[in-house]
């Protein structure tokens, strides 16, 4: 690097210095808030550390204990259940919203704002509204069920419905991805649809032969982002399970997600070393999943028009 810098002209050196100066806030944040914590977590994962005093090096004992921990299976099952449901449903809802936003109707901008608005609300606010909305005694949703002669559902207390209720709640954030899909829809060449119409293609034929293939790069992107968000689900379960009050983690541990278990070990049980080992394992598995999804995407993602 030093030899390359020496052969640069004075103007190129000045541009390089100015460029580094402009990106220095991001660079400092990246090194100090991402690279350093990741590296420090790798170190703590090999120690027994309570968060105070000195960390005692214990090697890979934390990682060995992970495979003996009876709660790991529960947290992994709950996390995968939520992720494998919320990601495909979220993409489907986002595509449907984008198609609705793309219709040529009057005041379409107002409808787009209404559909997008829930996605910018804070997660904790949505959770509190959802708790009131789904309350088994006075919640509006169950009042609607009663008026239609349907049975009342305890969305929060019944372990059969706690995770599905969070999957439904996650769809309120589909407005953001929908805007991205909308931008992609509007960039599809109109002559493709005109040619398809001349060939006698109907609405569904156009969607599956033109629209959907052109959306596949964004679908892959949303799968990656959705898997990342789903595997890291925390806020909703933390609030609903009474994590702030030190309560249970949902009925029969049905909301005991992996990241919530990491938080409990780190800040509730003062097992920072073990929590770091859980984080390191989570990081490694996430990288493998992302790599596998990218490889899988090669077989169905279309980058040509």
CA angle 32, 222, 300 (to 5 degrees): 125
Q: What are the angstrom distances between the C-alpha of 216 and each of 56, 173, 213, 298?
A: 49, 20, 5, 10
pLDDT average, residue stretch 143-155: 84
Decide which of 3.30.710.10, 1.10.3720.10, 3.40.50.720, 1.10.10.10 is the CATH code for 70-297: 1.10.3720.10
- Residue 155 near residue 127, CB atoms below 8 Å: no
- pLDDT of amino acid 305: 60
Question: Domain map of the chain by residue range?
Answer: 2-44, 70-297
Q: State the number of CA atoms in the 13 A half-sphere of 45 facing the CB.
A: 20
Backbone angles phi, psi at 47, to 5 degrees: -130, 165
- pLDDT of amino acid 246: 43
* Tens-place pLDDT, residues 20-72: 899 999 999 999 988 999 999 999 999 999 988 899 999 999 999 999 998 99
Look up the pTM and report it: 0.87
- Residue 287 near residue 104, CB atoms below 8 Å: no
Distance, CA of 93 to CA of 178 (rounded, Å): 8
Structure confidence at residue 241 as a pLDDT band (50, 70, 90):
confident
Distance, CA of 71 to CA of 7 (rounded, Å): 59
Structure confidence at residue 136 as a pLDDT band (50, 70, 90):
confident
- Residue 167 near residue 80, CB atoms below 8 Å: no
């Amino acid at each position: 690097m030093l030899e390359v810098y020496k052969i640069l002209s004075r103007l190129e050196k000045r541009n390089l210095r100015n460029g580094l100066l402009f990106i220095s806030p991001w660079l400092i944040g990246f090194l100090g808030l991402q690279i350093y914590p990741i590296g420090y977590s790798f170190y703590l994962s090999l120690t027994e550390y309570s968060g105070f005093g000195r960390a005692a090096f214990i090697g890979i004992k934390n990682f060995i204990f992970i495979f003996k921990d009876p709660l790991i299976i529960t947290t992994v099952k709950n996390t995968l259940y939520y992720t494998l449901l919320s990601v495909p449903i979220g993409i489907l809802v986002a595509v449907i919203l984008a198609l609705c936003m793309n219709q040529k109707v009057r005041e379409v901008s107002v409808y787009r704002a209404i559909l997008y608005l829930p996605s910018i609300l804070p997660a904790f606010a949505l959770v509190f509204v959802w708790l009131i909305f789904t309350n088994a005694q006075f919640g509006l949703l169950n009042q609607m069920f009663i008026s239609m002669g349907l049975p009342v559902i305890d969305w929060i207390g019944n372990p059969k419905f706690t995770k599905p209720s969070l999957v439904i709640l996650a769809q309120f954030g589909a407005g953001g991805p929908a805007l991205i899909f909308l931008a992609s829809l509007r960039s599809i060449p109109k002559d493709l649809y005109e040619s398809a119409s001349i060939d006698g293609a109907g609405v569904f034929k156009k969607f599956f032969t033109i629209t959907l293939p052109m959306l596949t790069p964004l679908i892959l992107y949303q799968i990656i982002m959705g898997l990342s968000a789903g595997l890291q689900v925390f806020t909703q379960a933390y609030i609903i399970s009474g994590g702030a009050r030190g309560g249970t983690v949902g009925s029969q541990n049905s909301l005991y997600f992996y990241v919530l278990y990491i938080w409990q070990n780190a800040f509730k049980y003062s097992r920072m070393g073990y929590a770091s080992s859980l984080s390191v394992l989570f990081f490694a598995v996430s990288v493998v999943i992302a790599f596998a999804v990218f490889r899988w995407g090669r077989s169905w993602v279309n980058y040509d028009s």
